[in-house]
């Protein structure tokens, strides 16, 4: 009987130890899963912060694209006329015209040709030339803002792709950790069942 008692004690001890090991594996899996979720949360927080920091650059870029489209007629004739009208009546345009016309009149006055036809023709051509020049300059300025916005948006897109990849990795690791814990518990149950069968067989053979 001592042999049977020792055998049963060893088996029960093995079952108990296996159960403890399984519970430990499951707990470890839960901890790893929780760590993965915290990692995902932190990466999302950092990405949101990046979007917030990039917003002042992205927003003007979006607006500048729209303004460029209006200026060259891609948004329709009415929008193009309004964009040109705004440039034509802008303080910058008025200052350029005033300075240019004053320079032409001063030059004509100094040469005695103030009332000449050449001066009148020059004055008549001056405004359209200034406006055309200003339209080109405005388009280039807007292009600079568009480039800044494009670079900021591209940075966000790249960070978003990295975030998605990292989240996928962490989710896979967390799921694998939990699955490992569940499998460990399953192995404990299977081993316990096998040990109980061994006890039955041994006891039957002994008696």
pLDDT of residue 188: 57
- What is the DSSP-derived secondary structure letter of residue 72? T
Domain segments of the chain as ranges: 2-71+130-206
pLDDT the model gives residue 49: 87
- As a whole number of angstroms, the distance between CA 123 and CA 128 comes to 10
Burial environment of residue 22 by CB neighbours within 10 A (0 to 12, 13 to 18, 19 or more): buried
Nearest to 36 by CA among 161, 179, 158, 156: 179
Element holding 176 (H helix, E strand): helix 117-206
pLDDT at 62: 87
Instruction: Give me the pLDDT at residue 150, please.
Output: 86
**Predicted pLDDT of residue 30:** 77
Q: Which residue carries 């927003």 as its tokens?
A: 59
Q: Mean pLDDT of successive 10-residue segments in the chain (207 residues)?
A: 48 54 70 80 85 86 91 93 93 88 75 62 82 92 90 85 83 72 57 52 52
pLDDT, position 136: 92
Q: Which pLDDT does position 121 carry in this prediction?
A: 74
């Amino acid at each position: 009987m001592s042999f049977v008692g020792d055998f049963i004690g060893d088996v029960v001890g093995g079952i108990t130890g296996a159960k403890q090991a399984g519970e430990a594996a499951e707990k470890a899996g839960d901890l790893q899963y929780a760590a993965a979720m915290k990692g995902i949360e932190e990466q999302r927080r950092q990405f949101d912060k990046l979007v917030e920091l990039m917003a002042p650059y992205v927003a003007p870029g979006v607006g500048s694209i729209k303004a460029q489209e209006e200026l060259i007629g891609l948004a329709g004739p009415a929008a193009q006329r309004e964009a040109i009208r705004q440039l034509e009546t802008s303080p910058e345009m008025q200052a350029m015209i005033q300075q240019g016309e004053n320079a032409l009149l001063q030059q004509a006055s100094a040469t005695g040709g103030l009332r000449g036809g050449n001066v009148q023709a020059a004055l008549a051509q001056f405004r359209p030339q200034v406006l055309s020049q200003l339209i080109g300059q405005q388009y280039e300025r807007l292009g600079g803002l568009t480039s800044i916005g494009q670079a900021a948006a591209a940075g966000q897109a790249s960070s978003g792709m990295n975030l998605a990849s990292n989240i996928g990795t962490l989710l896979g690791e967390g799921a694998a950790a939990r699955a490992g814990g569940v499998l460990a518990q399953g192995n404990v149950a299977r081993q316990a069942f096998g040990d109980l069968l061994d006890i039955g067989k041994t006891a039957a053979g002994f008696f």
